[in-house]
Structure 1
Amino acid sequence: MAGVGTDKIFENDKVIVWNFVLEPGAETPIHTHEHAYMWYSIQGAPLQIFDEAGKDLGTLEVPTGAVYSLKLEDGFLEVLSDIGKGVRVPATHKAKNTGPTPYREILVEYKN
């Protein structure tokens, strides 16, 4: 994983588009989000979130077909979309797929 996704598939002066795949039981490295972003879940799974010290911040149930929108403010990400609305996590974190199937999303970062 490089950056906030598995593979960067597009970038211009306004957005960066990532493909992101996380196999069952796999974890992302600790990473930091530097932009507000949205993602579309192509294949959902429960994602357990940890802060940079390894503290369990809870599990986000991500259903297939869900769209999430997040703002970045003061080192935290906050979910703005109806699904998950109000959830806040540190911009620096890692995630683990705790489900039995691969997780896949398309993530779009908004450059400011």
Structure 2
Amino acid sequence: MASTTKKPAPGQTTGASTGPTFDPVDFAAELDVVASNRAVGTDVWFENEHVQIWDLSLQPGERVPFHTHDHTYFWTVTDAGRVMQRYDDGTSRVVDVEVGHTNFLTYQGDECTVHDLENVGDTFFRCVTVVLKDL
């Protein structure tokens, strides 16, 4: 199983707060295969040898299963919302994000992040995630 070696830095996402703890055993089936899960969104919009562009669209209560980030990427919010990221160590964070909010995360060597994403707000949430395969 892949395990998180790098989390977003505190304050990287403006307004992020510590979320509830949880038991990773409750997500054992997802975490057992997370090392091979690079599905960082709900649909791939475009892919070539350099980039992979994902749509991540969630209605209230919907979530993207645990997955692994190990390539440099960025995401930009197109529909504001409140989301929760659970990490494989049983911690989580809740973030209110506005349209245009963008985060850029870099990975080197064996660094990776393992998390899910759930829409815990009461409105539709969407962001676009771009994975940079060459970096």
- Normalising TM by the smaller chain, what interval? 0.7 to 0.9
Corresponding position of 1:44 = 80
Query: Aligned letter for 2:88?
Result: E
Larger Rg: 2
CA RMSD of aligned residues (A): 1.7
Work out the CA distance in 1 between the residues paired with 2:93 and 2:127: 20
Displacement of 1:60 after TM fit? 2.0
Equivalent residue for 1:13, pick from 24, 49, 60: 49
Work out the CA distance in 2 between the residues paired with 1:56 and 1:102: 24
Greater share of residues in strand:
1
Query: Aligned letter for 2:130?
Result: V
Corresponding position of 1:31 = 67
**Identity percentage over the alignment?**
31
TM-score normalized with structure 1 length: 0.76
Displacement of 1:8 after TM fit? 0.6
TM-score normalized with structure 2 length: 0.64
Runs of 4 or more above 4 Å deviation: none
Greater share of residues in helix:
2
